[in-house]
Structure 1
Amino acid sequence: MTCGPSRDLPLLLLKNYYNFLALVFAVEEINENSELLPNLTLGFYILESYNFLPYMLIAAVKIFSGRRFWIPNYSCRTSGTLAAIIEGLPSEESSQLSNVLRTYHFPQISYASQNLLMSDTVTFPYFYRTVASELSLCAGILKLLKHFDWTWVSIMASDDESSTRAVQILKEGIEQNGGCVAVTETFSHNKRITQEQIGKMMNRMQVTKVFIVYCPIEYAFSIFMIRNVIVPGSVWITTAEMDIYNSYFINLQARNQTWQQGNNFLAFMVAKKNIPSFSKFIREVNFTLFPHDMKPDVWWKVLCDSRCPKSIRRSCSTNTTPFTHMHCNRKYLGSSYSVYNAVYALAHALHDRVMSGSGSNAVSRGDGEGFLDFRPWQLHRYLKNVRFKNSLGDEIFFDENGDLPIGYSIINMGGLRSGTQMYEIVGSYNPYAPHGRDFTIDEKAIAWDGELLQLPVRAKCSDSCPPGFSKLHKRGDPVCCYECIPCPEGEISNQTDMDACTKCPEDKWSNQKRDACIPKVITFLSYEEPLGSALSLISICFFLITAVILGIFINYKDTPIVKANNRELSYILLVSLMLCFLCSLIFIGRPEDITCILRQTVFGITFSISLSSILAKTITVVMAFQATKPGSKLRKWMGSRVSNSIVLSCSLPQVFLCLVWMCAAPPFSYLNMQSETGKILIECNEGSIIAFYCVLGYLGLLAGVSFFIAFLARNLPDSFNEAKYITFSMLVFCSVWVSFIPTYLSTRGKYMVVVEIFAILASSSGLLGCIFIPKCYIILLRPERNNRKYLTKN
């Protein structure tokens, strides 16, 4: 049973003659094959429904009754046994027919219906087809959109159940690929679509440049024939059978009619092939094979026209018009390949049934008798498992859904500037092919029209976000409509249209364009940079100045001013100050574990010796004043041993603290990647912050005690009272270190080291200047004051 397109388009019925001849050709081949269905003759009974549902139902009941005038639920069959129904109905009519056939359990093999809902074997258990399901068609369209990066599209579809489901699948797939459907227009599949309806729909769809037309051929034919529907520069993707248009438009051109379609027309067509020897069969077939009610006179005469290809041209004479010439120039002869496969699939299933154990007696019992006990549902298990190679070498079988594993060809059709029509296969989609080879497209083979100066056409709601930017979706806008915002510092996007920026690794940072992560700049206070060089120079200068002062004191060691307040303490203090100035150099340069340890230990111990020396000096001043009183017992404590013991006893606790610090949690170098943007700071971690502040606290304690004692002794009568200078030096020292702590805590990186070096240099130079500069002034510039007579006088 074969059924064709709508009665509204009688010209399109002409392609059904190819389908009919393919059926006859396949049946004759099978009957002539002694190995396939031996001792059995395959026949057929054909009816045309004109895609009119009542006609289709009447035709179905006629087949079941076996009579011209049908009687419901009554079979009066005088010919062979009915094995299955092969049909070429559109999707919805095929679904309705399946509901009828399900009652009688007859197999239904379709060579036209791609209804995706009919892949459900529970609802349609007896349905098979030799074309691909629309599920594959939707996947192919999504692959095409993704390949050209078309994310802003409109869809026009009929409102039948299968198309509605397909549109839903397309919407979900487009959104998963980052796109969105701007407009979805539907029209009734039960009514003729008018030019006014199409015009209104197109006005709403003009926001996009890519249009998907998802509907049967008769509706697509009506849409594309309306003037000014095809907008130059737009791309149309259709699922309708396009082979019929090729011949039709050639004839329109021959009649000087204008076709408004542009070249940007991509159609998905079930993969077709031409059957070997079928063209010869068309040329030589007996004209009387045609049923009387199919009226093939016009179709037949066209094959005699000189413009018809030699492969199917008949040797006769005729006077045909260009319009009736439309079916002659078809690249593929209707759905002949699908019909051919359907007939052979049925024949092989029947053959398997005959050769099985249950049908082994059928052959021996003759042509008809063996099928007297035939039941239609017995054929289903053989159809499900049928597998063979057709005459073209293609393997034919049905998958678990009853679908033939076959793909689609992508057709580019349009008009060339020479006036000829173009119909080229530019790609394919086969979901059963290996991954990576399932979708192919040859962009160079597509003849885009002149409106598309930059290819492919831009089909986006928003401009692509370049590397260095990410998408920002506004609430309420479609998913493919967005703004581009630059990536924040430390994040990059190295691809186009990234949804979010990616954070750089911890040891890297984003470049200026925010499209690549580059290694962070490693920073530390080095000798090469100006700040490090200046501090180094200052430290060395103060060291040399201290060394000069020590030389002066050694050179004038026997003078009264040097001998005053214990010259050994002065030597110890000057040496310790020299070490203080030199220890600041350890803070400059790339921090290592050993330098980090030396920084704090050398700093803490040298400063404790300096402050202990100053404390010993202060105590010496007080003791010297008290020892001058008659009967004082402090005279015996005025020796150098006492002062040295004070220095040693006050320095040992600091040494002990440093040892405990080094043993418990010593300082170490580490990479600080968070403090400064785009930089890696090589710093010294204090290890134990408690130990660090204990060392500073002990220094503060020594300074405070020295300051307190010196302050009390500042007004003691003496010709050269050193307590005044010690008081002022301790005031400078304490002021520096009190201001150091908040400054130190508020800075980061190498500037923290700079603050610490500055505190060391400032406090050390304060001690040096306040205590020793006045003495050097007297020694070098006022030598007359550096004698016992002057001191005794005062």
Structure 2
Amino acid sequence: MKTPVLRAIHLVFFLFYPIQSNSEANCKLWKELDLTVVHKEGDVILAGMFPIHSKGIDQELNFRNQPDQRKCWGFNMRVFRWSQAMIFFIEEINRNPTLLPNITLGYRLYDTCGLIALSLRTALSVVSQPMKRSSSEMCSSPSIPIIIGDSGSTLSMAISRLLNLFHIPLVSYFASCACLSNKHQFPYFFRTIPSDVNQANALARLVKHFGWTWVGTVGADDAYGRTGIDLFTAAVTQLGVCVSYRIIIPKLPTQQQLQDIVRTIRDSSAHVLVAFAIEEDIKPVVDEIVLQNVTGKQWVASEAWVTSTLISTKENFPSLSGTIGFAIRRAEIPGLKHFLDSIQPLADPYNVFAREFWETQFQCTLNTSLPTSSTMDPVNYSHSCTGMERMQDTQSIFNDVSQLRVTYNMYKAVYTVAHALHNLLLCQREHRSALTQQCPDIHNLQPWQVIEVLRKVNYTNMFGDLIYFDENGDPVGSYDIVNWQKGGDDVPVQYITVGRFDSSLPKGQQLVLNQNKIVWHGGTNKVPVSVCSASCPPGYRKVRLEGQPVCCYDCMLCAEGSISNTTDQAECLLCPEDFWSNKHRNYCVPKEIEFLSYLEAFGMVLAAIAILGAVAAISVGVVFFRHRDTPLVRANNSELSFLLLISLTLCFICALTFLGQPSHWACPLRRISFGLTFALCLSCLLSKTLVVLIAFKSTLPGNNTARWFRPPQQRLGVFICSLLQGGVCIAWLTTASPYPVKNTWLYRDRIILECHLGSVVYFCCVLGYIGCLAAFCFILAFLARKLPDNFNEAKFITFSMLIFCAVWITFIPAYVSSPGKFTVAVEIFAILASSYGVLLCIFAPKCYIIIFMPEKNSKKYLMTQK
């Protein structure tokens, strides 16, 4: 089924060009639709399509009358220069003896007026060249195997779809829309300007490079503008940049539409805007920007207008200063300046557009009967001119060759076609016997025969650039990065090249910038800022605002134990287990290691108390040793007393092992020393209690118990009781010895070095055995509390066991609930408190009597007391 567009094309084609009947003997001259055609004959004719007039008027086709000649207005000197450049390049090739020798290139140049309808009409004129009448043989004329044009992407799309029907290749010099790379829709389209895919990616990389995360986009209402914005938005979004607004400029905007567009640009918080539009479309917006005196915006231009002298005027510069963008490669083309300055409006072959240019340039009217180009409103100037005026004395966009960028693309287009034809000529010379199969006749060339050789073109031009087409008919994406800087009186704006982008290079080398050369909007060297939210510094993470783009967010300080070490991190990173975040949350520091040390004040106090207890126990032992022959010492079993003092001394020293950094030898030493010393201490107390009981029981008639509990038996009892605890400790050491651990779960910001019990069961056995000894000792001492005072120390043992049991009963909940190093402090406190309790309760009264009341330390006194 035919599409509406194709049906319209066919209808127009058959309306304008009626089918010839087979009965006609002679050729009939078809009417030329375009009278304003610049042409020159040759062996091979190249067609060129240019929007020399930037505006055109669509005509209403009523299918009853032949359509009028086209009506256009707005003579574009820049585009006219492109058309003249094509003539210059063709003439240059014709003079070149090595390229296409003995072959003369001709040309036909058309004005498309920038309208799709007129572009299609022009394409039909190219396809159906007017035939010349011949009385004796069939009519013939050189066919046009290839067309160079058009400048606009939308126009090129329409033309290419039409030319697909006739298999005619189209080589564009300025149509950069990425949609034209679709070989299913445009199989015969080629171009010498890079695809906008490259430009969109390059612009996205540029925006990301300068840290702009909040930008606006402006595009023309055509394939170039819409596709360019869509490609840029897709590319820049992948880099984490958000688009604040998307503006489409109508082709014929009203004043209200222009005001709305400028209001959006002015009121947006985005200080950077990217504009995809040709100069004719962006100019009304720029004019309104200047009219409303909108400044403070950094413009990023596409290649279509970044070097446009129509936009970069002295009046526009205050609003557009610092504009940066990608421009297609430029070149200095020798001889072109002289050729442009040598243009003559009445020269042969006659160029109707040259006449209009001459009248526009010199503001005069040429008095001649030669035809002129059709314009909507012909201008009648007040004075006439002869056509002999000097172009060298004028300066205009036409003869300004300082920024030959599109013109350089035209150079590449013409020379690429010439090289393709040259390859056909070489093939023809090598295979003269089989022209029809392998090499077509260049003098009778058909369009479809050029396509394959055009796809395989590969040469290096005089400027050192390698020219070839990829599988999509596109060249390498290569751009200059141009910055608008203030010029002098003659040149209000200078286009300074500050970098380059080349898609053929590795990704990390594609974008090259000399940032020191860039002058930003307002004449500053400081890169402008364009963000929706200020960057989150290290130590903070981004928190997205609900309903807002991803670039709009709040900054939240990272939680303890996590950091962010770069700007704009979405999530904070957890520190490793042995590290913690610093105060600013921007890097991890080793966690503070905590243990009860000798060097801290609390540890020093506990160590001093333990040493004082050991000194006290030793001092008591010295006192007892010096008075060992006194009745008080002898009456209280001096051997067990000395053994008890030794064990108490070891208990005090045992407390010191709990201070300092836990290690593989310190942890077992703590537990074993604690269990053994306290077992020895309680064994001695148990023996002393039994001695008291047995001593008084033996005084009863017929009781011989005392002979079974003499000093050897007492020592054996202490040894057996201690041996049992030693057996448990040995089993503990051999099966599940205590070991040091890093406690990272109690506190998140620091590590507690502590000793793991190894086996809770063995720890409970050791502690339970000590508890049993203490309880048994307490019961026996309690039973002996009412024996005569002088020889009875059972009541002192009872008090000491009360203190001992009270301390260790309260120790259990305190031990469990105390955090970190305070667990060790509680254990040390329990050891010292119970040791001091035994020492003071049992030995303090005796030492007081020995030292301060020696009269009571006599046998007579002891015997006389009841």
Same fold (TM over 0.5): yes
Q: Distance in 2 between matches of 1:481 and 1:289?
A: 65
Partner residue in 2 for 1:72: none
Q: Are the equivalent residues in 2 in contact too, given 1:21–1:282 (CA < 8 A)?
A: yes
- Retained in 2: the 8 A contact 1:354–1:360? no
C-alpha distance in structure 2 between counterparts of 1:628 and 1:357, whole Å: 146
In structure 1, distance between residues paired with 2:181 and 2:440? 35
Deviation for aligned residue 1:660: 1.5
- 152, 156, 159: which one aligns with 2:214: 152
1:730 aligns with 2:730: no
AA aligned to 1:13 is N
Q: What's the counterpart of residue 861 of structure 2?
A: 790
> 2:287 touches 2:316 (CA, 8 Å); kept in 1?
no
Residues 198-597 of structure 1 mapped to structure 2, 5 A cutoff:
198-205=258-265, 206-207=267-268, 208-226=270-288, 227-228=290-291, 231-239=294-302, 241-242=304-305, 245-246=308-309, 261-284=319-342, 288=347, 292-299=351-358, 302=361, 317-318=389-390, 325-329=396-400, 331-333=402-404, 335-356=406-427, 360-361=431-432, 370-371=441-442, 374-413=445-484, 415=486, 421-424=492-495, 425-450=497-522, 455-597=526-668
Tell me the distance in 2 between the aligned counterparts of 1:418 and 1:624: 128
Q: Which residue of the partner structure matches residue 310 of structure 1? A: none
Residue in 1 that maps onto 2:3: none
Residues in 2 aligned to 1:262 and 1:719: alpha-carbon distance in whole angstroms: 113
Moved more, 337-346 or 564-573: 564-573
Whether the aligned pair in 1 keeps the contact of 2:564 and 2:572 (CA below 8 Å) is yes
Deviations 1:371-421 (A, max 9, x none): 477553443332222210111121111123211114222322365586851
Shift in Å, 1:67: 2.0
User: Which amino acid is 1:266 matched to?
Assistant: I
How far apart are residue 472 of structure 1 and its match? 1.6
SS at match of 1:156: strand
- Structure-1 residue corresponding to 2:23: none
3-state secondary structure, aligned to 1:200: helix
Is 1:705–2:755 an aligned residue pair?
no
CA displacement at 1:319 relative to structure 2: 9.3
- Secondary structure, counterpart of 1:727 in structure 2: helix
Q: Once the 2 structures are TM-superposed, how far is the Cα of residue 459 of structure 1 from its aligned partner?
A: 0.8
User: Where do 1:649-660 residues align within 5 Å?
Assistant: 649-660=720-731
Q: CA–CA distance in 1 between the matches of 2:230 and 2:172?
A: 24
Greater shift, 163-172 or 46-55, is seen at: 163-172
- Match for residue 24 of structure 1? 87
> Would you say the 8 A contact 2:131–2:139 is kept in 1?
no
Instruction: Classify the secondary structure of the residue corresponding to 1:7.
Output: strand
Which secondary structure state, in structure 2, belongs to the residue aligned with residue 325 of structure 1? coil
State the 1:248 CA deviation.
6.8
- Return closer, same or farther for 1:110/1:420 CA change in 2, 3 Å cut-off: closer
**Secondary structure at the residue paired with 1:268?**
strand
Paired position in structure 1 for 2:234 = 172
Other-structure match for 1:689: 760
TM-score of the superposition, structure 1-length normalised?
0.89
SS in 2 for 1:477: coil
In the aligned structure 2, how far is the partner of 1:621 from the partner of 1:165? 109
Give 1:454 shift: 7.8
Change in 2 beyond 3 A, CA 1:412/1:300 = farther
What is the rounded CA distance, in whole Å, between the counterparts of 2:305 and 2:224 in structure 1?
A: 20
Worse-superposed segment, 600-609 or 583-592: 583-592
Cα distance change of structure 1 residues 318 and 343 upon mapping to structure 2, 3 Å threshold: closer
C-alpha separation between the residues in 2 aligned to 1:668 and 1:358? 95
Residue identity matched to 1:262: L
Q: Note the C-alpha offset of 1:109.
A: 1.0
Please give the per-residue CA displacement for 1:656-687, whole angstroms capped at 9, x wherever unaligned: 12112211222223444444454333332333
Residue in 2 that maps onto 1:163: 225
2:111 is matched with 48
Pairs aligned (count): 768
1:130 and 2:192 aligned: yes
Post-superposition offset of 1:635: 2.3
2:732–2:759 Cα contact (<8 Å) kept: yes
Name the aligned partner's letter for residue 510 of structure 1. Answer: S
| Partners of 2:341 and 2:391 within 8 A in 1 | no
Q: Tell me the alpha carbon deviations over residues 179-203 of structure 1, each in whole angstroms, 9 at most, x when there is no partner.
A: 3112222233xx4023321211222
AA at the equivalent of 1:24: I
- Structure 1 residue runs of 5 or longer lacking an equivalent are 70-75, 306-314
Q: 2:123 aligns with which of 60, 64, 86?
A: 60
Structure-2 change in CA distance of 1:319 and 1:352 (3 Å):
closer
CA drift at 1:580: 0.9
Question: What is the rounded CA distance, in whole Å, between the counterparts of 1:84 and 1:362 in structure 2?
Answer: 26
Which deviates the most, 555-564 or 337-346?
A: 555-564
| Poorly superposed stretches of 4+, deviation over 6 Å | 319-322, 362-365
In the alignment, what sits opposite 2:786?
Answer: 715
Q: String of CA shifts for 1:483-542, please: whole Å, max 9, x gaps.
A: 122222222223222222222233332222222323333333222222222222111111
Query: For 2:472 and 2:613, how far apart are their aligned partners in 1?
Result: 93
Matches of 1:303 and 1:709, distance apart in 2? 134
Q: CA deviation at 1:262?
A: 3.4
Amino acid across the alignment from 2:261: M
Whole-Å separation in 1 of the counterparts to 2:142 and 2:667: 104
Task: Say whether the 8 Å CA contact 2:668–2:739 is kept in structure 1.
Answer: yes
Correspondence for 1:638? 709
Q: Mapping of 1:604-683 within 5 angstroms?
A: 604-683=675-754
Give the residue type in structure 2 aligned to 1:436: G
Q: C-alpha deviations, 1:127-168, integer Å up to 9, x for none?
A: 111001111111121122112211111112234345334323
C-alpha displacement at 1:296, in angstroms? 3.8
The CA RMSD measured in Å over matched residues stands at 3.1
Contact 1:385 1:397 survives alignment (8 Å): yes
Classify 1:211/1:10 alpha carbon distance in 2 versus 1 (closer, same or farther; 3 Å): farther
- In 2: Cα distance, 1:679 partner to 1:421 partner: 66
Distance 1:733 1:303 in 2: 120
Higher relative helix content: 1
Q: Displacement of 1:594 after TM fit?
A: 1.4
Q: What's the offset of the Cα at 1:260?
A: 5.7
- Report the counterpart of residue 7 of structure 1 in structure 2: 55
**Structure 2 vs 1, CA of residues 736 and 379 (structure 1 numbering), >3 Å: closer, same or farther?**
farther
What TM-score, normalized by structure 2, do the two folds share?
Answer: 0.82
Tell me how far apart the structure 2 counterparts of residues 787 and 518 of structure 1 sit (CA, whole Å).
70
Measured at CA, do residues 737 and 299 of structure 1 come closer, stay the same or move farther in structure 2, by a change above 3 Å? Answer: farther
Q: Is the 8 A contact 1:276 1:392 kept in 2?
A: no
Corresponding position of 2:4: none
Question: Relative to structure 1, is the Cα distance of residues 299 and 758 closer, same or farther in structure 2, using a 3 angstrom cutoff?
Answer: farther
Question: Contact 2:460–2:466 at 8 Å: present in 1 too?
Answer: yes
Q: Which moved more, 1:678-687 or 1:212-221?
A: 678-687
Gaps of 5+ in 2: 1-47, 57-71, 133-137, 365-386
Work out the CA distance in 1 between the residues paired with 2:567 and 2:810. 52
